[in-house]
């Protein structure tokens, strides 16, 4: 719902506020400031701006808080929240949460608070409505008997083994993984999780959280990103890379959980982030967050959705995303892969490219392998490819890595530009372009 719609119906609105980066004039006359300096300076700005936010008993955050506390009491659990050192200026609360590595505030305002924020143009960049996200559910391919030994058809199709032969396995690259979590005991994922965080139903980071997968989706996408071979079956694109994995879906205050996960990933030093989640339909508001990621030299690789032609999900359909659709082993588009043409600005087709996403075996909790189909499965192939190229050229801005991937794409003849856009990348050609 728009900010105006929320104010008209509820008397308050949930907004994201992106703070302007602080700049210092250099000796040469230009402007320069480090990310650490920006975080320190914006911390004080956020502390001052928090006065424009208010608590509302009927706000979604407040009601979720009551529900969550009741759940904990019922199940005799203790709610432990880590107060990160960088967030002490504006402690997390139902009225406002500050994400220091992103420079973003999330909270509720009334008309007066909204007006004050918009009027503060020197310190406030944008004020937008808070979007909501959900898992992009995959399709289980129960008819498949089992994985074939050797390298998966998906890896072969993208020519990933050719980069392995050049010594590129993703070593030294950290990939952000926002999902349902991950099973660290799975043989494909043992030693692959460099950092883990869980964000509770209020979007606050939990201490003493045990690394785990709350479903199976996260372990499956993690395996496609960095999984080691299991039983002679090879399916991980960048087995030398590591994950900064966080639980952000499903349930609760998902905008706060996703922002918390992204903010944490920035702090961990990721270069690529895999987002197999989205909001049905088109929502421009999250563009500001994707822009902030790119400014921090992080490539957002996002699933486009599983609702078929002339549909798409945000943030995958936003121009700041490297969005991914799915095709099958016969080089035909997966019928449920979303795609949409948007007038803009800028005019564009989503997804940007496509990748293998049908009948793919990967890790699931408990040590087994399961075949799933979906753009959630296609997306890790592109995020993993980006990680291999980052290992090769860590000095390059992430935009150059992205440009090489897109330039290497070729669209199968059976797939129209409306459905497949640029087509599927060629890993070896992308490498050559760098």
Highest mean pLDDT among 16-25, 151-160, 242-251, 272-281: 151-160
Among the ranges given (58-67, 180-189, 200-209, 305-314), the one the predictor scored with the smallest mean pLDDT = 58-67
Q: What is the pLDDT of residue 27?
A: 42
Among the ranges given (12-16, 23-27, 249-253, 387-391), the one the predictor scored with the smallest mean pLDDT = 23-27
Q: What is the mean pLDDT of the chain?
A: 90
Rounded to the nearest 10°, the torsion over CA 98, 99, 101, 103 is: -60
Among the ranges given (77-86, 151-160, 228-237, 392-401), the one the predictor scored with the smallest mean pLDDT = 77-86
Instruction: Give 341's pLDDT tier (boundaries 50, 70, 90).
Output: very high
179 given a catalytic annotation: yes
Of 50, 179, 338, 339, which is the active-site residue?
179
Half-sphere exposure of 209 (CA within 13 A, CB side): 24
Q: What is the pLDDT of residue 69?
A: 56
Instruction: Give 6's pLDDT tier (boundaries 50, 70, 90).
Output: very high
Distance, in Å, from the CA atom of 177 to the CA atom of 243, rounded to the nearest integer, reads 6
pLDDT of 222 > 90? The answer is yes
pLDDT tens track for 73-95: 555 555 444 433 334 444 344 68
Domain boundaries, the chain: 3-129, 134-433
Of 52, 169, 186, 217, which is the active-site residue?
217
Q: What is the pLDDT of residue 143?
A: 66
Tokens of 122: 């020197």
Among the ranges given (20-29, 104-113, 148-157, 414-423), the one the predictor scored with the smallest mean pLDDT = 20-29
Residue corresponding to tokens 């808070």 = 130
pLDDT tens track for 201-212: 778 898 888 999
Alpha helices in 54-152 (DSSP H): 60-74, 111-119
177 given a catalytic annotation: no
pLDDT of 189 > 60? The answer is yes
Q: What is the pTM of this model?
A: 0.91
312 given a catalytic annotation: no
Distance, in Å, from the CA atom of 365 to the CA atom of 188, rounded to the nearest integer, reads 11
pLDDT tens track for 347-366: 999 999 999 999 999 999 99
Of 59, 337, 376, 408, which is the active-site residue?
376
Q: Which is more confident, 142 or 387?
A: 387
CATH of domain 134-433: 3.40.50.200
Q: What is the pLDDT of residue 58?
A: 75
Q: What is the pLDDT of residue 367?
A: 95
Q: What is the pLDDT of residue 74?
A: 57
Distance, in Å, from the CA atom of 158 to the CA atom of 192, rounded to the nearest integer, reads 23
Are 226 and 175 in contact, with CB atoms under 8 Å apart?
A: yes
pLDDT tens track for 373-405: 999 999 999 999 999 999 999 999 999 999 999
pLDDT mean over 223-249:
97
């Amino acid at each position: 719902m728009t900010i105006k719609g929320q104010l008209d119906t509820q008397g308050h609105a949930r907004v994201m506020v992106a703070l302007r980066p602080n700049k210092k004039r250099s000796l040469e006359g230009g402007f320069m400031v480090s990310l650490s300096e920006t975080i320190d300076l914006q911390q004080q700005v956020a502390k001052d701006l928090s006065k424009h936010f208010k608590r509302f008993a009927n706000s979604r955050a407040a009601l979720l808080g009551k529900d969550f506390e009741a759940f904990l009491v019922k199940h005799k659990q203790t709610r432990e929240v880590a107060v990160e050192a960088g967030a002490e200026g504006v402690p997390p609360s139902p009225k406002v949460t500050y994400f220091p590595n992103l420079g973003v505030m999330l909270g509720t305002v009334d008309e007066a608070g909204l007006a004050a924020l918009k009027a503060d143009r020197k310190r406030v960049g944008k004020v937008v409505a808070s979007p909501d996200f959900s898992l992009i559910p995959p399709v289980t391919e129960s008819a498949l008997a089992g994985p074939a030994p050797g390298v998966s058809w998906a890896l072969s199709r993208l020519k990933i083994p050719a980069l392995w032969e050049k010594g590129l396995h993703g070593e030294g690259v950290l990939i952000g993984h926002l999902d349902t979590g991950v099973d660290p005991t799975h043989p494909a994922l043992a030693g692959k999780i460099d950092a883990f965080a869980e964000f509770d139903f209020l979007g606050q980071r939990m201490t003493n959280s045990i690394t785990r997968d709350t479903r199976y989706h996260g372990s499956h996408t993690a395996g496609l990103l960095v999984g080691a071979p299991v039983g002679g079956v090879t399916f991980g694109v960048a087995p030398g890379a590591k994950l900064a994995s966080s639980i952000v879906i499903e349930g609760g205050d998902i905008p706060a959980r996703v922002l918390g996960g992204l903010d944490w990933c920035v702090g961990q030093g990721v270069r690529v982030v895999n987002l197999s989640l989205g909001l049905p339909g088109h929502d421009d508001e999250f563009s500001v967050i994707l822009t902030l990621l790119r400014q921090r030299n992080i490539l957002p690789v996002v699933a486009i959705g599983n609702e078929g032609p002339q549909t798409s999900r945000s943030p995958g359909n936003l121009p700041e995303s490297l969005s991914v659709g799915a095709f099958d082993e016969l080089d035909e588009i997966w019928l449920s892969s979303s795609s949409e043409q948007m007038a803009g600005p800028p005019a564009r087709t989503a997804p940007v490219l496509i990748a293998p996403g049908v009948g793919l075996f990967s890790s699931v909790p408990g040590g087994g392998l399961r075949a799933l189909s979906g753009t959630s499965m296609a997306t890790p192939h592109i995020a993993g490819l980006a990680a291999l190229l980052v290992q090769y050229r860590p000095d390059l801005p992430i935009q150059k890595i992205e440009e090489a991937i897109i330039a290497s794409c070729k669209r199968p003849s059976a797939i129209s530009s409306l459905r497949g856009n640029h087509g599927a990348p060629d890993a070896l050609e992308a490498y050559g372009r760098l």
